[in-house]
Amino acid sequence: MDIAAFLLDSVPFARLLGISFDSVGPGTTVARMPDRDDLHNHVGGPHAGALFTLAETASGAAMLSAFGDQLARAVPLATRAEIGYLRLAMGEVTATATLRAEREAVVARLDAGERPEFEVDVEIGDGAGVAVARMTVSWTLRPNR
């Protein structure tokens, strides 16, 4: 499955923001959002909501890269997200997402009929690679009935 194409087809808001993917690997993703005036806040950087969406989108791609093969039997859902804005972001920003769970343990819980929960950490950096925000997204795989 082409995770980037699948996600951008499934989440039109991510397309609206111009989010693209540099890489998607097992449990990891690097996503990018362009510097556009219509995404700016009152101080000229990307709006906090746009940064949140970039990070949540990157976390979703990292989650799908690990568990996309489970979509026939479970629906992935974000259950919580916590973001810390560290400094003013200016220009294009990049989000690097990393799954914090072991795939085998999550799938084993799903096999046991449970609803596994796991986290994806995301760091958003500016064009110089300086961290401007950090986010943790909690995900679950809700078994189909």
Closest among 54, 135, 70 to 104, alpha carbons compared:
70
**How many Cβ atoms from other residues are within 10 Å of residue 123's Cβ?**
18
How far is the C-alpha of 145 from the C-alpha of 131, rounded, in Å?
41
> What pLDDT digit, counting tens, does each position of 27-78 carry?
999 999 999 999 999 999 999 999 999 999 999 999 999 999 999 999 999 9
pLDDT bucket at 26, cuts 50 / 70 / 90: very high
How far is the C-alpha of 125 from the C-alpha of 19, rounded, in Å?
14
Over its C-alpha atoms, the chain yields an Rg (Å, rounded) of 15
pLDDT at 7: 92
* Domains in the chain: boundaries: 3-143
Whole-structure pTM value: 0.96
pLDDT at 94 over 90: yes
CATH class of 3-143: alpha beta
